[in-house]
Amino acid sequence: MKTLQWTLAAVLLCCHAVASADTLLIRNAQLHTMTAAGTLASADILVRNGRIAEIGSDLRAPEDSTELDAAGRPVTPALFAGITALGLNEIDMVWPSVDSAVTQIGSPPMRPEFNVVSAYNPHSSPIPVTRIEGFGFSLLGAMAGGSIIGGQGRTVLLDGGYDSFQGDPVLFIALGESASTLAGGSRAAQWMVLEQAVAESESTPRHGEHTLLTREGRAALKGYTRSGTVVFSVHRASDILQVLAFAERHGFRAVIEGGAEAWMVAAQLADAEVPVLLDPLQNLPDSFDMLGARLDNAALLHAAGVRISFSGAGTHHARKQRQLAGVAAANGLARDAALAALTRNPAEIFGLPGGRLERGVPADLVIWSGDPLELVESADHVILGGRLQPMRSRQTELRDRYLPVDATLPRAYIR
């Protein structure tokens, strides 16, 4: 049995050996299980073959295990990075490196068959930057390009694998003020073209009839009218109510992304069991759709019984999702609820098996230096699929390369 000391040197020396280990025992942890068991003090967690095998006290260490002493530090499920273009966008301002949206490809104009998954690059530099901050999974979003139907995406485990996708595909639809130019300049036209698109998916258009969808697009959209998950990017309360009616009418499983005014219709969202992925930093009217934005949006939605999660930090700042959760907690949301919104809730919203620490679930977890909702703390170890991930990124490598060795010398004498 090997034992790792809680020092950076030991971790670097043993990282490769641990990453390939099949069995890992974490001792003396403060486990935030995100289950009915709550938070367990001085608990052990045994990981075997990529899953949590056992949780308890003074667990016996198997002979083939690698052992980590958490020294009473918090352990949580790996965090949700929100809806991002991780692995799809390398540099937003360099268009050849952006694969998260499709612009016009001839006619018809709507392309729900567009799926960003085929463009995913697990070696994209923003992924390890996000992963070493404690984030284990993200929903790859298809951004609105040539139409209000952006296309399809899927959740992905940020473990650097080529085929680390989880759950079912998700369709993305953008609505409201920001999407009006993609539907004739009016939000009323948005619903007009969406209704036509759904009608086309249900019955083949007559020959020569002007259509919005290709044959493949009709098949793709029809697949979502049978309880498929559709993320509607929308802020205004009245538009959210239109989404609820539209989803019920056509059998979509709706998820609201944005929802700056969602608190105004919290009761309706709760009754419809429609979750909201929100940005707790939205407290100013950035647009006419967000006149009702307020900092306690998350707390009000949670109190009404709406399942919430967070999204809004973006692709290159996805690691700041912890800050969003902290702001929500500072404005009335219970800290346990804020942590659930980063872990269990998004897993449940998108049908994933993780997001909690209990026997049998995938071993995607993080050992923290302290409270994960405090920005002064950081992730000490990230474990995805039962394997310790290297705590390196392009940023850390640049830091190590250019950080002065002896700051008392003039710049010419230091690397």
Give CA–CA dist 236/244, Å, rounded.
13
| pLDDT at residue 75 greater than cutoff 80 | yes
Provide the domain limits for residue 89: 80-352
- Report the chain's mean pLDDT, rounded to a whole number: 89
The single-letter code of the amino acid at 326 is G
Parallel/antiparallel/unpaired status of strands 23-32 and 39-48: antiparallel
Q: In this structure, are 70 and 84 located in the same domain? A: no
- Transcribe 75-116 into DSSP letters: EEEPEEEEEE-TTTBS-TTSGGGB-SB----SSSS--TT-BG
Give CA–CA dist 158/382, Å, rounded.
11
pLDDT reported for residue 54: 96
Q: In this structure, are 165 and 89 located in the same domain? A: yes
Looking at residue 255, which CATH number applies to its domain? Answer: 3.20.20.140
Give CA–CA dist 135/77, Å, rounded.
9
pLDDT tens figures, 149-190: 999 999 999 999 999 999 999 999 999 988 888 777 888 999
Residue where a domain terminates, one of 352, 367, 392: 352
Q: What percent of the chain has pLDDT over 90?
A: 71
Rg value, the chain, Cα: 23
| pLDDT at residue 325 greater than cutoff 60 | yes
Q: In this structure, are 140 and 34 located in the same domain? A: no
Mean pLDDT over 254-258 rounds to 98
DSSP type of residue 7: S
Q: Where are the alpha helices (DSSP H) in 172-320?
A: 187-202, 215-224, 237-250, 266-272, 297-303
Q: In this structure, are 126 and 189 located in the same domain? A: yes
pLDDT reported for residue 208: 64
Q: What is the largest CA-CA distance in the chain?
A: 79
Q: In this structure, are 144 and 71 located in the same domain? A: no
Q: In this structure, are 97 and 144 located in the same domain? A: yes
By mean pLDDT, which of 163-177, 208-222, 224-238, 283-297 is the weakest?
208-222
Distance of CA 110 to the CA centre of its chain: 26
pLDDT tens figures, 353-389: 999 999 999 999 999 999 999 999 999 999 999 999 9
Reported confidence tier of residue 107, pLDDT bands at 50, 70, 90 = low
Q: In this structure, are 110 and 36 located in the same domain? A: no
Give CA–CA dist 162/168, Å, rounded.
17
Looking at residue 39, which CATH number applies to its domain? Answer: 2.30.40.10
Q: In this structure, are 62 and 88 located in the same domain? A: no
Question: Which residue in this structure is represented by tokens 């799809």?
Answer: 88
Question: Which residue in this structure is represented by tokens 């050992």?
Answer: 367
Q: In this structure, are 140 and 272 located in the same domain? A: yes
Residue where a domain terminates, one of 336, 352, 368: 352
| pLDDT at residue 413 greater than cutoff 70 | no
Neighbours of 46 (CB within 10 A): 22
Considering its fold, how many domains does the chain have in total?
2
Q: In this structure, are 276 and 390 located in the same domain? A: no
Q: In this structure, are 192 and 331 located in the same domain? A: yes
Give CA–CA dist 278/298, Å, rounded.
7
Q: What is the pTM of this model?
A: 0.89
Q: In this structure, are 343 and 366 located in the same domain? A: no
Q: Are 111 and 259 in contact (CB under 8 A)?
A: no
Residue where a domain terminates, one of 352, 369, 401: 352
